[in-house]
């Protein structure tokens, strides 16, 4: 390319500077750029085509989109959806002193635990009583913590899985829930990226995989990374600011929409000329699509993010009239508006990074965090239901692991007011999208230690989600990438309506 052309200004922006400024972000910005014109599930996904499979080999779709909510740090299942009254009875006793089988001496204790930080966490065994009461709620009579009265009011719409486990005993378990892989193993694409890979888009002006949160909420972008699927399937971080919805591709002061359109057109022409010389450059192809999507989103995203257009009643339903719940209410209301307009997968963070990691002072910290998410989450369920969207929108609310039944008193933490990380058994819940309502699946043991009845590794939630979307996890694979059996998971058929 002529050096004079390379240094030419496009409107008011120098091409070289413009490309440099945007280059760091457009790899992930391209998540939704490979859009389908028909706006429905593909007749065959790329994985199907590679395997020679047609549409008839796929499970029937019950859901159109997913709102995947994540609570970072490790929510105590014991003080939310899996209360164990024996913890009060045996408070202050060790596991050996209860007369029950010591859960730390069972073979499964070591089979499901793998240190990702180079050392094993200290073994603690003095039982801590429940820090909050609970009630049987709804017609289903499911036990729900007194910290979650709003979610308790919609428990008849929830499907609660009390038998989850994971294998990382440190906070890389957060990334493990999204990818299915332990931090010591080869990383994999996230569940959102697999859905992007396997499905088309209903709205070509919006991405199919959106991240609603902030970079600091996740510490690294591994939670919405496409890995070897390529940048076209990574998540797009979407701001709640209608005037600046994207972290990249924004119009600088004084640049009109028409000027920006001309800038993108000229850069696109340059990129296409380069692409002819390098047809196998996936990064370049993704960037070209990103420019197109960025411009379309400048036009469409402000309308999606205009929460002021919602009624006062709806805003209050999500807790937007309360500073404690306002931010999370906005994120969930935005997720509903995105689902309404065809976005396939919204990853919504309802926590600061590690917020639920209550090694000490769990009573105060968990009470505060529950208060921040309880009303917005219940509001989402109520809103989807009254709009007729809950039947084809799957809501998944997850965390990285639970908290120990034992009181954490260790050499590093002598306070004795919290619970440690607990990957051996914890709870997640789902709603809508084809799962049973007012239903509990699986169980931990009497003390809430091990996932004892119908245990499920995290990829079983992935496989279930994919099946509800009409995808078969085993067909989502690249011929050049071998996946482990664990990666595919098994759909939890018992929870399907």
Average pLDDT over residues 206-219: 80
- Tens digits of residue pLDDT in 186-204: 989 999 999 999 996 777 7
User: What are the pLDDT digits (tens) for 403-417?
Assistant: 999 999 876 777 789
Residue 383's nearest CA partner among 451, 332, 452 is 332
- Calculate the average pLDDT of the chain: 83
pLDDT band at 253 (very low <50, low <70, confident <90, very high): low
Confidence of residue 299 (pLDDT cuts 50, 70, 90): low
How far is the CA of 7 from the CAs of 3, 14, 15, 224, 423, in angstroms?
6, 7, 7, 35, 55
Tell me the mean pLDDT in the region 173-185: 92
pLDDT bucket at 156, cuts 50 / 70 / 90 = very high
Closest to 413 (Cα-Cα) out of 132, 167, 121, 170: 121
pLDDT of 7? 35
Confidence at residue 183, expressed as pLDDT on a 0 to 100 scale: 87
- Per-residue pLDDT at 120 exceeds 70: no
Confidence class for position 312, pLDDT limits 50, 70, 90: very high
Average pLDDT over residues 383-391: 97
> How open is the CA angle 205-29-241, to the nearest 5 degrees?
70
- What percentage of the chain reaches a pLDDT higher than 70? 75
Residues 6+ away with beta carbon under 8 Å from 347 = 68, 70, 178, 192, 209, 210, 211, 212, 213, 223, 224, 235
Per-residue pLDDT for 115 more than 90? no
pTM for the full predicted model = 0.82
Burial of 261 (0-12, 13-18, 19+ CB in 10 A): middle
Comparison of pLDDT for 217 and 489, the residue scoring more: 489
Summarised one tens digit per residue, pLDDT across range 435-445 is 999 999 999 99
**CA distances (Å), origin 55, targets 471, 477, 491:** 10, 16, 19
Listed residue (241, 196, 194, 239) closest to 215, CA to CA: 239
Top-tier CATH class for 63-214+311-495? alpha beta
Reported as a pLDDT band with limits 50, 70 and 90, residue 243 is confident
Confidence (pLDDT) at 111: 73
Residue-level pLDDT at 110: 72
């Amino acid at each position: 390319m002529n050096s004079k052309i390379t240094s030419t200004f496009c409107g008011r922006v120098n091409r070289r500077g413009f490309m440099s400024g945007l280059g760091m972000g457009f790899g992930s910005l391209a998540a939704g750029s490979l859009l389908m014109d028909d706006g429905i599930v593909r007749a065959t996904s790329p994985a199907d085509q590679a395997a020679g499979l047609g549409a008839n080999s796929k499970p029937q779709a019950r859901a159109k989109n997913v709102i995947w909510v994540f609570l970072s740090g490790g929510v105590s299942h014991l003080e939310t959806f899996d209360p164990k009254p024996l913890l009060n009875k045996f408070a202050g006793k060790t596991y050996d002193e209860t007369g029950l089988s010591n859960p730390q001496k069972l073979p499964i204790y070591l089979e499901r635990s793998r240190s990702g930080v180079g050392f094993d966490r200290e073994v603690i065994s003095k039982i801590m009583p429940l820090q909050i009461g609970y009630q049987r709620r709804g017609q289903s009579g499911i036990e729900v913590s007194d910290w979650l009265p709003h979610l308790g009011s919609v428990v008849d719409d929830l499907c609660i899985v009390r038998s989850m486990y994971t294998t990382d005993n440190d906070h890389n378990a957060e990334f493990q829930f999204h990818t299915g892989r332990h931090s010591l193993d080869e990383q994999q694409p996230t569940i959102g990226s697999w859905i992007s890979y396997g499905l088309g888009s209903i709205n070509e002006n919006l991405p199919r995989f959106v991240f609603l949160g902030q970079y600091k909420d996740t510490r690294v972008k591994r939670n919405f990374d496409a890995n070897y699927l390529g940048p076209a399937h990574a998540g797009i971080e979407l701001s709640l600011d209608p005037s600046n919805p994207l972290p990249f591709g924004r119009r600088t002061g004084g640049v009109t929409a028409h000027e920006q359109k001309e800038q993108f057109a000229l850069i696109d022409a340059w990129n296409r000329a380069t692409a002819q010389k390098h047809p196998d450059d996936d990064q370049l192809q993704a960037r070209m699509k990103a420019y197109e999507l960025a411009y379309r989103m400048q036009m469409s995203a402000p309308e999606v993010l205009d929460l002021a257009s919602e009624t006062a009643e709806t805003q209050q339903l999500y807790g937007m009239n309360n500073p404690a719940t306002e931010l999370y209410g906005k994120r969930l209301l935005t997720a509903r508006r995105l689902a309404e307009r065809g976005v396939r997968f919204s990853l919504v963070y309802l926590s600061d990074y590690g917020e639920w990691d209550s090694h000490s002072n769990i009573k105060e910290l968990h009470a505060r965090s529950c208060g921040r998410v309880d009303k917005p989450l219940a509001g989402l369920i109520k809103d989807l239901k009254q709009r007729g969207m809950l039947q084809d929108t799957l809501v998944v609310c997850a965390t990285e692991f639970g908290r120990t039944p034992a009181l954490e008193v260790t050499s590093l933490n002598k306070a004795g007011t919290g619970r440690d990380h607990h990957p051996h058994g914890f709870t997640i819940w789902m709603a809508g999208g084809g799962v049973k309502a007012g239903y509990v699946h699986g169980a931990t043991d009497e003390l809430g230690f091990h996932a004892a009845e119908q245990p499920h590794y995290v990829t079983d939630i992935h496989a279930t989600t994919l099946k509800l979307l009409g995808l078969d996890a085993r067909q989502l694979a690249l011929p050049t990438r071998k996946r482990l059996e664990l990666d595919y998971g098994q759909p939890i058929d018992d929870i399907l309506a």
